[in-house]
Amino acid sequence: MSNLLNLYNKYTQIAKRSSLNTRSILDIFEYVLDIKIGILKDELKRDINFFKYLKLKYLLDRFINEKPVEYITHKAYFYGLELYVNKNVLIPEDETEELVNWVLSDFPNQKINVIDLCSGSGCIGLSLKKKCDKFNVTCIDISKKANRVAKYNANLNNLDINIIQNDLLENYDKDFDILVSNPPYIYYKDNDVSKSVRKYEPSIALFVKDKEGISIYKRIFDELDKKHFKAAYFEIGYNQKEPLTNLLANYKFKFEFRKDINNKDRMLKIEKLL
């Protein structure tokens, strides 16, 4: 039998020294013990079963070694939704919420078909559906395992969406009004990618082989060029405005870049010129 409070204090100190979020230590305790821990931490003033202690210690060690807490507790939050995440999906990022905001400001609750392309956990499609129940949302991802997570998240949040496994829009012949996408856009040799992201996040969700990181956008634009749609919204890398502007010169699209809260060009909207 081992005392929990000692363990908590020890790992909180280590987390502080490593500039890690100490709240995550509590999240891991709550996850393993399956209880809520109050401010006084009375719940920790007791002994626990040795096997639970070993599990806690193992997970705390992973966290100290930079495994994102979301992959430990399998919980992430996006646009007010609680989502399940595992190693097969990217942890939804705050920046992506700004893309959802853009869509919602252009298209308040209307009866339209919406595609979340490269949907991963389903965070974009699900948050759009949550805000606008009239939207008919389809999530498309190439990864069967990611789609399983999106399906789980749809059930978890009681939201009715379609989930399809497909390679981008290849042979996808259904009509849609708007498309939203946060595709992979990082050059696989990029040195700026943190050790933790490279180690724990799925590479299929992040990396592409071309240096400018625009190969997937090109494939999507080629497909959109053949279709009728109202608007398409993309998350982009902070240094991709220029290569994407050059790429867009090859298409008859109207386009607009938008900066995120950190004043970086992180979003793109395209519309077809009539």
Ligand X SMILES: C[S@@+](CC[C@H](N)C(=O)[O-])C[C@H]1O[C@@H](n2cnc3c(N)ncnc32)[C@H](O)[C@@H]1O
Q: Does 126 bind ligand X (CB under 6 A)?
A: no
Q: Which stretch binds ligand X (CB under 6 A): 43-51, 142-150, 171-179, 266-274?
A: 142-150
**How near is the Cβ of 150 to ligand X at its closest, in Å?**
9
Q: How far apart are CA 86 and CA 58, in angstroms?
A: 17
Helix, strand, or coil here: 136? strand
Helix, strand, or coil here: 130? helix
Cβ-based nearer residue to ligand X, 205 or 231: 205
Q: Does 184 bind ligand X (CB under 6 A)?
A: yes
Q: Does 70 bind ligand X (CB under 6 A)?
A: no
**How near is the Cβ of 16 to ligand X at its closest, in Å?**
29
**How near is the Cβ of 30 to ligand X at its closest, in Å?**
24
Question: CB within 8 A of 202, min separation 6: which ones?
Answer: 87, 88, 89, 90, 143, 146
Helix, strand, or coil here: 266? strand
Among 24, 71, 81, 92, binds ligand X (CB under 6 A): 92
Q: Which two tokens stand for residue 122?
A: 């389903």
The two beta strands, 207-208 and 186-187, are parallel
Of 232, 4, 212, give the one whose Cα is nearest residue 113: 232
Q: Does 137 bind ligand X (CB under 6 A)?
A: no
Q: Which residues bind ligand X (CB under 6 A)?
A: 89-90, 92, 96, 118-121, 123-124, 140-143, 146, 167-168, 182-184, 204-205
